Amino acid sequence: MARPEKKRNVLAPPAFNNFKPAGIQMSKLGSVTLTLDEYEALRLADYDGLEHSEAAIKMEISRPTFTRLIAKTRYKVAQLIVEGKVLQIEGGSVHFANNRIICIDCKKVYPGNFTDNYKYTCPKCGSAKFENLAEGFGHGRCCSQHKNKGSRQN
């Protein structure tokens, strides 16, 4: 029997949860799903350029676990590019260290927290319609409680 997976730290939810090749209907494409922890591994290693040991500390996992996670993630990204698939980001056993909100009208992303009601006005377009990205991934209260317990995520 496998032991339960430890929740991994993710800095913030991604601004968008799917991407697809241009000019082809989504219904005609296969898909590749990245979990939120795979997204975070890709962000830390390939976007931020961290060494595996540094990235593992940020996610609160071991370095060998991070290395396996990033290898799996890179294969999935190569697969979606080579085969022309849709990328979907969802699921995984994670806690967000921070939150983001997105303006529904202009899609501008702003930092947020887990408790606001998001009654703001967008400085870019003037809209008052925002989406809580952590909530969209099924997170919020659990992440703010985890953050208050001294998570090492920066």
Query: What is the pLDDT tens value at each position of the chain, 154 positions in all?
Result: 777 777 898 998 998 899 999 998 888 999 999 999 999 999 999 999 999 999 999 999 999 999 999 999 999 999 999 999 999 999 888 888 888 888 999 999 988 877 665 677 888 999 988 888 888 787 766 666 665 554 444 4
User: What does the radius of gyration of the chain's CA atoms come to, in whole angstroms?
Assistant: 17
| Model pLDDT, residue 151 | 47
Q: How far is CA 98 from CA 16, 82, 111, 131, 144, in A?
A: 16, 33, 8, 15, 8
pTM: 0.80
DSSP state, residue 61:
S
DSSP state, residue 140:
S
* Helices (runs of H) and strands (runs of E) counted in the chain: 5, 8
**Dihedrals phi, psi of 26, to nearest 5 degrees:** -60, -35
- Sign, CA dihedral 16-17-21-22, equals negative
Angle subtended by helix axes 52-59 and 63-83, to nearest 10: 100
